[in-house]
Amino acid sequence: MSITKAAIINALSYVDDPDLGKDLVTLNMVDNIHIDGNKVSFRLILTTPACPLKEQIKNACITAIRHFVSKEAEVHVDITSRVTTHRQDGSNILPGVKNIVAVASGKGGVGKSTVSVNLAIGLAKNGAKVGLIDADIYGPSVPVMMSLRQKRPHVIQVNGQNKIEPIEQYGIKTLSIGFLAEETQAIVWRGPMVSSALRQFITDAEWGELDYLVIDLPPGTGDVHLTLAQLVPITAAVVVTTPQEVAKADVVRSIGMFQLPQINVPVLGIIENMSYFSPPELPDKKYYLFGKGGGQALAESFHVPLLGQIPIVEDIRKGGDEGMPAVLLPDSPAGKEFAFLAQTVARYIAIANANVQTSKTLSAQ
């Protein structure tokens, strides 16, 4: 009996994406099916670049085709990805940007900028198109962390309009308040000046098509957060914390802010930074200097995932100071943790997007 396209589609409808909980055909993840005798090939379009489950899903496809269609089938799966979005606002605010991820913390100095920079570069290293906005008015640190001190963005003409061109570095596009003001000057800017500069980064900058735009927010819960949340359709926020018990109240405040009706941004999860110390000569040893399990307990109490635990290591501090983010050192323990964090964040965004689509469909019925 010859193999048909319909039989292949039927077989693949028995394979679920484990994260999204639905089958590959319903999720529109299969196309380009070709059949030549016993040879079957198709394209599988996953929702995150460098999906950690890709081998598992591919093997499940091969098994399903051999089981439901033909034991003799020789299957070739061409895996690509297309990052999803749940934006349907049709607005002209960042129209080409699929997902906007705000990085927040209740408290200063917990590693928000470090996480933002490494997360953004980690997503780009997986093949995504990524932008980064440094919205921290009090201490813009992206210019230093990205080795872009003294750089100024250019203004370019797009369709007859002046647009700010984000600066490209390490595979991502970036803009920072620090590009507009001298390091000593930014801090004395008045609130309205900062709000208007930030607004320009969003409305008057040429970001083009992006899968993810990461926004490094200032610490705490202030005006900038409100301005941004009202201006930008933020897909989700991630909250960075350190494991100490005292950090708890700040995280609670930060999550509370996102849940305010006038902000209303879903919290994707918590990132615990400075979780443990591993001496370079004993990389398998973990010393929990600030206590163990704090991030996990917080995540559980808010029913959100703990997206990552980043160790305290010199590579991270040094990378920040020297403008060479740790994620660029793929073999270092810090580089591996940040790469894993980027995968995890991408994965939870895909899950959140699939759930929004489902709930929209359900509420339309």
Ligand X SMILES: Nc1ncnc2c1ncn2[C@@H]1O[C@H](COP(=O)(O)OP(=O)(O)OP(=O)(O)O)[C@@H](O)[C@H]1O
Using rule CB under 6 A, residue 84 touches ligand X: no
**Least distance from C-beta 249 to Mg ion, angstroms?**
20
Using rule CB under 5 A, residue 136 touches Mg ion: yes
Using rule CB under 6 A, residue 268 touches ligand X: no
Touching Mg ion, residues 76-135 (CB under 5 A)? 112-113
Between 68 and 138, name the residue whose CB sits nearer to ligand X. Answer: 138
Tokens found for residue 40: 């079957």
Task: Measure CA of the first residue to CA of the last residue in the chain; give whole Å.
Answer: 41
Query: Binding segment for ligand X among 7-15, 88-96, 167-175, 315-323 (CB under 6 A)?
Result: 315-323
186: exposed, middle or buried (C-beta count within 10 Å: 0-12, 13-18, 19+)?
buried
**Least distance from C-beta 223 to ligand X, angstroms?**
16
Do residues 233 and 221 make contact, with C-beta atoms less than 8 angstroms apart?
no
Do residues 289 and 244 make contact, with C-beta atoms less than 8 angstroms apart?
no
Between 209 and 321, name the residue whose CB sits nearer to ligand X. Answer: 321
DSSP for 40-65 reads: EEEEEEESSTT-TTHHHHHHHHHHHH
Using rule CB under 6 A, residue 136 touches ligand X: yes
Using rule CB under 6 A, residue 219 touches ligand X: yes
Using rule CB under 6 A, residue 113 touches ligand X: yes
111: partner contacted, choices ligand X, Mg ion, none (Cβ within 5-8 A by kind): ligand X
The kind and range of the H/E element at 170 are none
Buried b vs exposed e over 128-144: b needs ≥16 C-beta within 10 Å?
bbbbbbbbbbebbbbbb
**Least distance from C-beta 286 to ligand X, angstroms?**
13
- Residue at token pair 């034991």: 71
How many amino acids of this chain bind Mg ion (CB under 5 A)? 4
Rounded CA gap, 129 and 172, in Å?
A: 7
Cβ neighbours of residue 186 under 8 Å, at least 6 residues apart? 137, 138, 139, 140, 177, 178, 180
18: partner contacted, choices Mg ion, ligand X, none (Cβ within 5-8 A by kind): none
Residue nearest to Mg ion (CB): 113
Give the β-pairing of 167-169 and 236-241: unpaired
Using rule CB under 6 A, residue 122 touches ligand X: no
Using rule CB under 6 A, residue 47 touches ligand X: no
351: partner contacted, choices Mg ion, ligand X, none (Cβ within 5-8 A by kind): none
108: partner contacted, choices Mg ion, ligand X, none (Cβ within 5-8 A by kind): ligand X
Give the β-pairing of 167-169 and 172-176: antiparallel
Using rule CB under 6 A, residue 312 touches ligand X: yes
Rg (CA), the chain: 22
List the one residue from 81, 114, 332, 343 that touches ligand X (CB under 6 A). 114
List the one residue from 169, 174, 241, 273 that touches ligand X (CB under 6 A). 273
Rounded CA gap, 235 and 154, in Å?
A: 28
Using rule CB under 6 A, residue 58 touches ligand X: no
Please report, for residues 99, 129, 155, 260, 320, the alpha-carbon distance to residue 204 in angstroms, rounded to integers and kept in the order given.
Answer: 18, 19, 10, 28, 28
109: partner contacted, choices Mg ion, ligand X, none (Cβ within 5-8 A by kind): ligand X
Using rule CB under 6 A, residue 112 touches ligand X: yes
Rounded CA gap, 46 and 58, in Å?
A: 11
Using rule CB under 6 A, residue 108 touches ligand X: yes
The kind and range of the H/E element at 158 are strand 154-158
Between 206 and 272, name the residue whose CB sits nearer to ligand X. Answer: 272
Q: By rule CB under 6 A, what string of x and - marks binding of each residue 159-198 to ligand X?
A: ----------------------------------------
Using rule CB under 6 A, residue 109 touches ligand X: yes
Residues that bind ligand X (CB under 6 A): 105, 108-114, 136, 139, 141, 219, 273-274, 310, 312-313, 316-317, 320
Residues that bind Mg ion (CB under 5 A): 112-113, 136, 141
